[in-house]
Structure 1
Amino acid sequence: MRWLLLIVLLTGCSAFPLASSGGPQVDRVPAGTLDAATARTSLAALPLSAPGRLDGYVRDCDSDKACVFGQPWFDTDGDGCDQRSQVLARDLTAVERKPGRCSVQSGTLDDPYTASQINSVSKIQIDHVVPLAEMWRSGAATWPQERRVAAANDLRNLVAVSGKVNQSKSDKTPDEWMPPNAGYACSYGRIYVTVKAAYGLSVAPAERSALEQALTTCDTPPAT
């Protein structure tokens, strides 16, 4: 039951305001993201370990599949608004919902991964900044199902981005992939470390080095 309570605390609709309007926002992060200094300290404290195996990891939720992180975009608090809809409403501007429903049918995304603007919801996907496969390799394989469901739907780890870029990322870790928009490296690193630290997940040596490098960019003023 305590993990069910955690889900509600982490994912309530009202806790995450809509993104402000304006030009492309390269520094937007979910509420609860660690600041740069705390992220550096938290990263140094994470257990260092080679990536585990993916044995047993099955994301598919068809009737005969393992579905180890639960149904995608589970409505964790039962308010009729699933996690995808909550993230779209949080990250897009000029949001319009389907009549009488929570689902977002239109809006504008200032994509932090590409620093471009996307005006079609069909071209937007929700990225798990720490991929679920990476969670599995770094500790989640031993968790009870309810904790994995909480982690998969934690709004701190979910960001609306270009679908094409999200597909290119797939399950890659920061040593293998970083957002094409270099100006988002600091924010991406902060989000990633926040989630790893929140769930006590391990990091591989190359992964830690890449995150350390990303966090060094937090000290560089953005270009104007």
Structure 2
Amino acid sequence: MTVSWGAYRRARRRSRQAWALLVVLALSVLSIVLWFFTAGQFAAAEPAVAGPSQAPVFDGTWMKPVVPVYPVPQGSARAALDGLAVKGRAPNINYQREAFGQAWLDVDRNGCDTRNDILRRDLASVGFTEGSTCRVASGAIVEPYTGTAVEFRRGPESSKEIQIDHVVALGDAWQKGAQGLTPQQRQSLANDPLNLIAADGPANQQKSAGDAATWLPKNKNIRCHYVARQISVKASYGLWVTQPEKDAMKRVLDSCPDQPTIAAR
């Protein structure tokens, strides 16, 4: 079989073009892989909407302030951590949830209980039950502890998917100074928006009464804010930390030395 010189040249040209395309595709794949394993994996984990680290703790248009024991110290979370007392846990005796008042009271007297206040604050595209401007029926959230997007729907089972977490667990607070607070101060601690975040139900159950030494959010992007919020709450209510807890908090803050304390804003 005889092949003409022109056909041979055309075949060679197509072959070179094919190889050039393969090289371009390979370089594109390589650049994507390099991007992902440097910055991309962290960018991909960022919430698509404002999370707790961006959203305000307090919205004065419909919330009223809860008066803490002390104001949150201004400045870095690391400095505030160094200002907290370091002690061992007090005995976990006589602890009852009722020591912090009835769950989800309307402590700020704005007409809505605390659970619905926090759902309204933390969810986007909030819908209310028919005839109510308080009872949250639906909404969307990029859940802070796991970093996953969740659609909230009120219901006997579905409501459990998003729970309201006490950033400083009440059981932990009880063993680290809350026994010395007045009933009114403990009620404020349990309902203070600073100490409350709408969060993944299973993650909240896993955390239980854990402190930073025993539990941190799976989503590493929220850890600096989470630890700073725990420090801010403990400073605001005169609670202490254990040495392992302080060490764990310092390790988190080492990655964000400029992390400020968190206050109602």
**Normalising TM by the smaller chain, what interval?**
0.7 to 0.9
Deviation of the 1:190 alpha carbon: 0.8
Deviation of the 1:164 alpha carbon: 1.0
Pair 1:112 & 2:139 matched: no
TM-score for both structures, normalised by structure 2: 0.68
Q: Gaps spanning 5+ residues in structure 2: where?
A: 1-46, 59-70, 154-158, 259-265
Deviation of the 1:159 alpha carbon: 0.3
Deviation of the 1:79 alpha carbon: 2.5
Alignment of 1:46-125 (within 5 A): 46-59=84-97, 67-101=98-132, 102-121=134-153, 122=159, 123-125=161-163
In the other structure, the counterpart of 1:140 is 178
Cα 1:71–1:165 shift into 2, 3 Å: same
Aligned length: 194
In the other structure, the counterpart of 1:170 is 208
Cα 1:144–1:24 shift into 2, 3 Å: closer
| 8 Å Cα contact 1:25/1:115 also seen in 2 | no
**C-alpha RMSD of matched pairs (Å):** 2.4
Larger Rg: 2
* Alpha-carbon distance in 2 for matches of 1:26, 1:95: 16
Please tell me the residue identity of whatever aligns with 1:97: F
For residue 128 of structure 1, the aligned residue among 160, 166, 169 is: 166
Deviation of the 1:27 alpha carbon: 3.1
* Alpha-carbon distance in 1 for matches of 2:195, 2:77: 14
SS in 2 for 1:107: strand
Alignment of 1:8-47 (within 5 A): 22-23=48-49, 25=51, 27-28=53-54, 30-31=56-57, 38-47=76-85
Cα 1:150–1:25 shift into 2, 3 Å: closer
* Alpha-carbon distance in 2 for matches of 1:29, 1:38: 19
Runs of 4+ with deviation above 4 angstroms: 32-37
* Alpha-carbon distance in 1 for matches of 2:53, 2:166: 17
TM-score for both structures, normalised by structure 1: 0.80
* Alpha-carbon distance in 2 for matches of 1:30, 1:193: 17
Pair 1:199 & 2:251 matched: no
1:115-134 deviation digits (Å, cap 9, x = unpaired): 10110241100000100011
Q: Gaps spanning 5+ residues in structure 1: where?
A: 1-20, 60-66
Please tell me the residue identity of whatever aligns with 1:138: K
% identical aligned pairs: 36
